Amino acid sequence: MASRNINRLLIGVVALLAFDSLRAQTPAAGPLRLTLGDAVRVASGQAPVVALATLRSDEADARVRQAKAALLPSLSLGAAWVNRDFNWQALGLPLPPAFASGLSNPVPAFNNYDGRASVTQTLLDLSSVARVRAARTEADGSRAERGVTVEASALTAAEAYLRAARAQAVVAARQADSAIAAELVGLAQAQKTAGVSAAIDVTRARTQFVTAEGLLLVARNQLDRARIDVTRALGIGPATPLVLTDTLAATLGAADVPTQPDSAVAVALANRPELRAELARAGAARQTGAAIRAERLPRLVVAGDYGVNGPTVPGAIATRDLTLAVSVPILDGFRREARLGEQEAVVRESEVRERDLRQQIAADVDAALLDLHSAQAQQVVAAERLRLADDELAQSRERFKAGVVGNIEVIDAQSNLIRARDADIDARFAAAGAHVSLARAAGVARTLH
Which SS3 state, helix, strand or coil, does residue 295 take?
Answer: coil
Q: In sequence order, what are the beta bridge partners of 118?
A: 76, 305
From residue 364, how far is each of 89, 143, 271 by CA, in Å? 84, 23, 13
CA quadruple 286, 288, 292, 297: dihedral sign: positive
Answer for the pair 174, 153: CB distance below 8 angstroms, yes or no. no
Which DSSP state fits 360? H
Q: In sequence order, what are the beta bridge partners of 16?
A: none
Which SS3 state, helix, strand or coil, does residue 125 take?
Answer: coil
Question: Looking at residue 359, what is its pLDDT?
Answer: 96
Question: Looking at residue 29, what is its pLDDT?
Answer: 52
pTM of the model as a whole: 0.80
Answer for the pair 83, 109: CB distance below 8 angstroms, yes or no. yes
Question: Looking at residue 407, what is its pLDDT?
Answer: 78
Which DSSP state fits 111? E
User: In the chain, what are the domain boundaries?
Assistant: 2-14+31-84+105-447
Answer for the pair 123, 302: CB distance below 8 angstroms, yes or no. yes
- Run means of pLDDT, 10 residues per run, the chain, 449 residues: 44 42 46 90 91 94 94 94 83 73 78 93 93 93 93 93 94 92 87 80 87 93 94 90 88 85 93 92 92 92 93 89 92 90 94 95 95 93 93 88 79 90 94 92 89
Rg of the chain over CA atoms, in angstroms?
A: 40
- How far apart (Å, rounded) are the C-alpha atoms in residues 14 and 20? 10
The closest of 222, 239, 231 to 166, measured between CA atoms, is: 222
Write out the H or E segment, with its range, that includes residue 321: strand 317-327
Q: In sequence order, what are the beta bridge partners of 117?
A: 77, 306
The b-or-e profile of 86-117 (16+ CB within 10 A means b, else e) is: eeeeeeeeeeeeeeeeeeeeeeeeeeebebbe
Residue 366 backbone dihedrals phi, psi, to 5 degrees: -60, -45
Question: Looking at residue 1, what is its pLDDT?
Answer: 43
Rounding to the nearest 10 degrees, give the CA dihedral for residues 379, 383, 384, 390: 160
Answer for the pair 226, 415: CB distance below 8 angstroms, yes or no. no
Homologous superfamily assigned to 2-14+31-84+105-447:
Outer membrane efflux proteins (OEP) (1.20.1600.10)
Answer for the pair 50, 157: CB distance below 8 angstroms, yes or no. no
